[in-house]
Amino acid sequence: MAKMATHEWRFFRAGGVDQVLLAGGADVARLRELDQKLWVALACPTKGTEIDERTLALIDTDRDGRVRAPEILDAVDWLTKILKRLDLLFETGDSIPLAEIDGANKEGKAVLVSARRILADRGKKDSKVIGLADVTAMAELFAATRFNGDGVVPADAAEDEATHTAIEQVISAVGSVVDRSGKPGVDQQLLDSFFEQAAAVVAWDDGGQAEGTLPLGDGTAAAATALAAVESKVNDYFARCRIAAYDSRAAVALNASEAELGALSQRLLSRDDEDVAKLPVARIEGNRPLSLEAGLNPAWSDRIARFASAAVTPLLGARATLSERDYGTIVDRLAAFRAWQAMAPTTPVAALGAERLRELVAGEYQARLAELIAKDAALEGEYAQIAAVEKAVRLRRDFARVLRNFVNFADFYARKGAVFQAGTLYLDGRACDLVVYVEDATKHATLAGLSKTYLAYCECTRGAEKTNIAAAFTAGDVDNLMVGRNGVFYDRKGQDWDARITNLVENPISIRQAFWSPYKRFVRMIEEQVAKRAAEKEKASTTKVDTAASTAAAVGQASPGAAPAAATGAASTKKLDIGIVAAVGVAVAGLATFLSTAFGMFLGLGIWMPVGLIGVIFAISTPSMLIAWLKLRQRNLGPLLDANGWAINGRVRINVPFGGSLTEIAKLPEGASREVGDPYAEKPTRWWRWLLILILVGLAVAWALGKLDPYIPASAQAGRLLPRPSSGPTGPTPAVAPP
């Protein structure tokens, strides 16, 4: 056989990613030859995308809820046998002309025959096109029939009331499976399980008829129940009596102690008291029989009475006391029944009762139900033919789109709306198009954070409905993005949802945003510190005022004339702290020295001062810009989708230009005009005010450096008011003798 010619693949580049170009049926037909390492995705979930879930379910042949690359290839092979030309996949529509179905092979012929039958049943015998509406209507009609080919029989499929009841009882005992009609039903596996358990219950019930199993007939069960209620306590009683017979000294210890009885005497008691029930059932003496009438523990007297009437009297005759030997006889007489009862099958089927189960097992119900299931399953081929036509029509409509969001991400990079994009989030003057649904935001963020993308997780509500999304912000700044902010989310159906930010995954948005971030952080830090200091000062001031008011009130009440003196004393004790003044002076001098040095160096640059200013700015911003540049180069769609169950094959980059297109910033429409007159605009600061501020700052620096000392009075000179570090030797000042 001649070797098939190698297919010439073409690739396109978008967003910095090379992807295969699927331009027609020839590319799809040879898809199996394309190295899967070149595919963008290798698996995706059947739910949570914008592709019809039914279409993905038909591709998902192993029904595990995920579409994988081998299933895509199997679908291609199947379509190759069904359609005469695969170019039909790239033509818009949800119908297939019958002339496009390939009747030359087995698979295509079966689909063609079934399509014509569907059209005939729909009253469209002469139609040349089979549409999705025709197929779905026939599938729904077929599913609603008595037998629909799934091997599941609901109760409504029964021919008579007795069979109907039997199916309902089987469902109540062993559960059900859903029929194609949506009703609960029974399949062969459930039927076999039910009758297997029913036979076990019937066999066990028959064992109860053996000789000696029912010594009291119908009263045996009541006797066994009464014995079980007192057995442990009666055994305890006779064991204690045997010990007392062995040593009479033990009788005192084995009865209730004075301490136990004394504790009971201190509270209200009842016959159901737990501490009373812990005491012996009767007084302990050596070899003493158990009284059945008098001298019993009140907590056990009723149970002993039931035991006597249900077991002792029927088996041994009426009596007032019970010896240990007679008690053993009762236990032996009921042993066979109790052993049989312990072997009772623990199954929900037993709830129907042995008599009903015997009737079902002995009758022909199992055969009747098995026959109904077989009749239903016999139509599986007919339903499969309808399903094959449905699959062909759905893949004709959706398969090209599946490929554009699986083998490549052409829809995403062409901004046509990828199947994983949930809609658009409007928030903070921006519209974010890269939005995905999430089930668990915390779990999703753990992996999605590796995408190096700034993500806002939002809880969306629409009436009683709720959903969660993750939106990527790829343009603008982050100043006003915070947990709790509200926006509006529009899904792909155009429905609007209230959206509230619940979590943020912070990453750089752009180089521009990174450039200004150090300065914004610095301003925020100053604002926070100023607000913090102001709050502390306000609190301290308020505390002082409250304390002073309380002190004044207390002094006034004690002695009206003492208040002024106290105030005077307080004033006299408040003195100027020289150390604080010195520390402030040193700080001001240091700051002034730094500013003057920096200012002098800046002025020393001469005409290069603008270059120096630019250098300072870039020295501050470059680290943030470098980090942002590195992270933006690593921005990747893969982790965002992997967290939703996709298997992304390699890096799906979101470079800066493409990322910027995924978030639109609010701007005035082209050609719009704007009135600049704002009656409430803030008045700009006059230039002379800035000049005055600069002059004052310059004078303050010059004064702190002592440059103004020759021109001002000695009392105001900085040399006198600001301490300066001594350049001479340090050490103790030598004592000076008095004159």
569 pLDDT more than 60: no
| DSSP string covering 263-301 | HHHTS---TT-HHHHTS-SB---TTPPEESSSSB-TTTH
pLDDT band at 390 (very low <50, low <70, confident <90, very high): very high
- State how far Cα 289 lies from the chain centre: 66
pLDDT at res. 2 = 45
pLDDT at res. 21 = 95
pLDDT at res. 523 = 67
Q: State the average pLDDT for the chain.
A: 84
Q: How many CA atoms lie less than 13 Å away from 503 in the CB half-sphere?
A: 16
pLDDT at res. 64 = 93
Sheet of strand 41-45: strand arrangement: 66-68, 41-45, 647-648
Lowest mean pLDDT among 18-32, 210-224, 585-599: 585-599
The answer to whether the predicted template modeling score (pTM) of the entire model surpasses 0.85 is no
For 278-324, what is each residue's pLDDT tens digit?
999 999 999 899 999 889 999 999 999 999 999 999 999 999 999 99
CA distances to 158, 581, 596, 700 from 707, rounded to whole Å, are: 111, 21, 12, 10
Please tell me the distance from the alpha carbon of residue 27 to that of residue 9, in angstroms, as a whole number: 8
Q: When comparing pLDDT for 180 and 79, which is higher?
A: 79
pLDDT at res. 550 = 76
325 pLDDT more than 80: yes
Q: Which residues contact 288 (CB under 8 A, 6 or more apart)?
A: 241, 244, 282
| DSSP string covering 391-452 | HHHHHHHHHHHHHHTTT--HHHHTTS--TT--EEEEETTEEE--EEEES-HHHHHHHHGGG-
Residue in the structure block whose two tokens are 């005469």: 84
Please tell me the distance from the alpha carbon of residue 719 to that of residue 704, in angstroms, as a whole number: 8
Please tell me the distance from the alpha carbon of residue 481 to that of residue 468, in angstroms, as a whole number: 17
Buried b (16+ CB within 10 A) or exposed e, 289-319: bbebeeebbebbbebbebbbebbbebbbeee
Q: When comparing pLDDT for 42 and 568, which is higher?
A: 42
211 pLDDT more than 50: yes
For 137-175, what is each residue's pLDDT tens digit?
888 888 777 888 889 999 988 888 999 999 999 999 999
pLDDT at res. 595 = 56
**β partners of residue 471:** 435, 456
Going by C-alpha positions, the residue among 147, 155, 194, 161 that lies closest to residue 175 is: 194
Q: When comparing pLDDT for 233 and 727, which is higher?
A: 233
pLDDT band at 566 (very low <50, low <70, confident <90, very high): very low
Span 344-351, average pLDDT: 89
Q: How many CA atoms lie less than 13 Å away from 607 in the CB half-sphere?
A: 0
Tell me if 410 sits within 8 A of 404, measured CB to CB.
Answer: yes
CA distances to 112, 207, 218, 396, 694 from 333, rounded to whole Å, are: 77, 17, 15, 78, 113
Q: When comparing pLDDT for 633 and 83, which is higher?
A: 83
Q: When comparing pLDDT for 14 and 131, which is higher?
A: 131
Going by C-alpha positions, the residue among 111, 189, 196, 206 that lies closest to residue 152 is: 189
For 690-726, what is each residue's pLDDT tens digit?
778 878 877 777 777 777 778 778 777 777 776 655 5
pLDDT band at 567 (very low <50, low <70, confident <90, very high): very low
pLDDT at res. 616 = 63
- State how far Cα 571 lies from the chain centre: 65
| DSSP string covering 336-365 | HHHHHHHT----GGGGG-HHHHHHHHHTTH
pLDDT band at 739 (very low <50, low <70, confident <90, very high): very low
SS3 category, 654? coil
pLDDT at res. 147 = 84
Tell me if 655 sits within 8 A of 453, measured CB to CB.
Answer: no
**β partners of residue 438:** 468
pLDDT at res. 374 = 92
| Range of 156-160, 532-536, 548-552, 613-617 with top mean pLDDT | 156-160
Domain ranges of the chain: 11-146+379-413, 217-345
For 302-313, what is each residue's pLDDT tens digit?
999 999 999 999
Lowest mean pLDDT among 266-275, 340-349, 457-466: 266-275
602 pLDDT more than 70: no
Going by C-alpha positions, the residue among 433, 429, 436, 412 that lies closest to residue 480 is: 429
Q: When comparing pLDDT for 267 and 324, which is higher?
A: 324
Span 564-580, average pLDDT: 47
